[in-house]
A = this chain, B = another copy of it.
């Protein structure tokens, strides 16, 4: 793509937040990337501009019909001061997978990555340096026609915003208690579950809130058809170590193909650990637990990398996994992935991209 990114620098740079008090997704950097799409013209006018509010007609389609997709990835600063991205091409490719399902025009993934790098270069000083901190990157596309008819929009905005975020595990990794959701359904085959699109998250809120009220951190989603196959945990993919075989639900259309999921599978294979992608029922997990073969369970995602599961509650049957402690495989995956991301562990896979 021969588009040139115009750059308008802010006249009012903000003060950087205190690195020790960083949360998630609350503070944004000085600039953002914006590119427009117009039917017949394609994607045009890519620009980096000061971060700030944008004007939208109240009739804008995104407010009414949710035609949108997003991504989430991070930039990490190494102790040598290099800036690394972790498999950003995968996120750019997933944008187009989501776009296809949501009837949003395809983007040029190479150009999008170039735009992302240009933005991060400009905002380099915003990447926090304290242990475990990073710069969260949120690319997203929204439908912008000021029109109330139900059809794909003819105009869109592709926006990238950046947010310095604190360490996910400030006080060490503590396994979480998970509620197995038997009533609410996140997604079903034939729906939008494999796309990273607002509707999936809107749909998940109620179950999440109710699980929190019952004292659980997240929910484990079951399939929408038979309510017996395990799908995802919260907004993460999920893995189970049963008798030293690591099993993760296969991608059947209702599950997001996570980048950390894929990296975890690759990593385990490289260690000679048996990894299987297949359908797995909640009953099988409980049976394995009864037999003493359910060794570890954990979620994988960009935010936490690895989130060990210490307890499951399914129809009032509570089981404890690995005595509520983090398992050795979970620890090793966490240390290796974060090590690669921060440039502390050799990247044999060629996953990191320097900005």
Contact = CB atoms under 8 A, between A and B. Distances in A.
A192 B203 contact: yes
B200 A64 contact: no
Contact of A203 (B25, B189, B199): B199
A86 interface: no
A63 B64 contact: no
Given A67-B205, A191-B224, A197-B202, A51 B55 contact: no
A202 B161 contact: no
A152 B142 CA distance: 20
A274 to B, nearest CB: 33
A140 to B, nearest CB: 6
Given A58-B32, A63-B62, A149-B25, A202 B199 contact: yes
Nearest to A32: B58
A258 to B, nearest CB: 15
Interface string A22-37: 0011101000100000
Interface string A98-115: 000111000000000000
A299 to B, nearest CB: 13
A214 to B, nearest CB: 15
Contacts of A203: 191-192, 199
Interface stretch (A180-188, A288-296, A338-346): A180-188
B24 A202 contact: no
A148 interface: yes
A115 B54 CA distance: 27
Given A32-B58, A184-B190, A191-B191, 12 more contacts: A26-B149, A28-B59, A54-B55, A55-B56, A59-B161, A64-B198, A66-B199, A66-B202, A188-B224, A191-B224, A198-B199, A199-B199
28 contacts: A52-B57, A59-B163, A63-B142, A64-B70, A64-B138, A64-B198, A66-B68, A66-B197, A102-B205, A148-B163, A183-B190, A184-B190, A184-B191, A185-B191, A188-B191, A188-B224, A188-B225, A190-B224, A190-B227, A191-B191, A197-B202, A198-B198, A198-B199, A198-B202, A199-B200, A199-B203, A224-B224, A225-B225
